[in-house]
Amino acid sequence: MNGGCGIMEGFSEAMPTLSLNLRRYLLKPTTRENVVKLSDMREFFADRDAVERVLSRRDPKIYEYREFTPGEGPGHLSVGITVIYPGKVGREYYMTRGHFHLKDTAEYYYCIAGRGILLLQSRSGEVACAELRAGTIAYIPPGWGHRAVNVGRGRLAFLYVYSSDSGHDYGVIKEKGFARIVVEERGRPKLVDNPRYARRPPRRKEEDK
């Protein structure tokens, strides 16, 4: 973190700060950085044939995020920046994997640039969504799974803040998906039912008894 300079010169009590480069979407310093490629999230897109078709040619970067966590133990807040590239897999727009927090903690997303949709889903399957555009602040209430989708032509960038000890659960989304997905239809984003949502093998006869 920056120790303070300029007008803070001589202030021995100066609190360290972070810096965010809004042109290159760089946060400094970071404690975690992650680049997610299509091969890292093949189970998260609904059209698996489209995933394999793309992967047979190349493995595109879908999104990346950089994060800073100030310390261990309860009470801290993490801050980070996520950048989702523009593109689609089949008809589905590039997006984050999406997750539930392991603890019932909330989160804020502040959209810096681009056009997106924040998909929200409660544990009991209720669905909600919010538009993300430069200047929007979206609130993710405790207990709601969340995924950001880039529906624009450029990068979608947002800052996020959440409780550092939240934990992330990707398992449910990986297995069941979100109930709704965002696809392109006639050149526009559309929220549709996810054909793979909670698909289970057909029950055998004996189980019907």
Instruction: Look up residue 96 and give its amino acid.
Output: T
Instruction: Look up residue 139 and give its amino acid.
Output: Y
Stretch that binds ligand F6R, among 15-23, 69-77, 95-103, 198-206 (CB under 6 A): 95-103
Is residue 47 close enough to count as binding ligand F6R by CB under 6 A?
Answer: no
Stretch that binds Zn ion, among 3-11, 32-40, 45-53, 107-115 (CB under 5 A): 107-115
Residue 98 interacts with, from Zn ion, ligand F6R, none (CB under 5-8 Å by kind): ligand F6R
Instruction: Look up residue 114 and give its amino acid.
Output: G
Is residue 42 close enough to count as binding ligand F6R by CB under 6 A?
Answer: no
Among 68, 160, 164, 182, binds ligand F6R (CB under 6 A): 160
Nearest C-alpha neighbor of 121 from the set 143, 145, 138, 100: 145
Among 38, 95, 107, 144, binds Zn ion (CB under 5 A): 107
Q: How far, in Å, CA of 199 to CA of 190, rounded?
A: 21
Give buried/exposed letters for 161-182 (b at 16+ CB in 10 A, else e).
ebbbbbeeeeeebeebbbebbb
Stretch that binds Zn ion, among 40-48, 73-81, 101-109, 196-204 (CB under 5 A): 101-109
Is residue 67 close enough to count as binding Zn ion by CB under 5 A?
Answer: no
Q: How far is the CB of 38 from ligand F6R (least distance, A)?
A: 13
Q: How far, in Å, CA of 180 to CA of 119, rounded?
A: 8
Q: How far, in Å, CA of 19 to CA of 21, rounded?
A: 7
Q: How far, in Å, CA of 93 to CA of 168, rounded?
A: 22
Give contact residues for Zn ion (rule: CB under 5 A): 107
Give residues in contact with ligand F6R (CB under 6 A). 65, 80, 82, 96-99, 107, 146, 148, 160, 162, 168
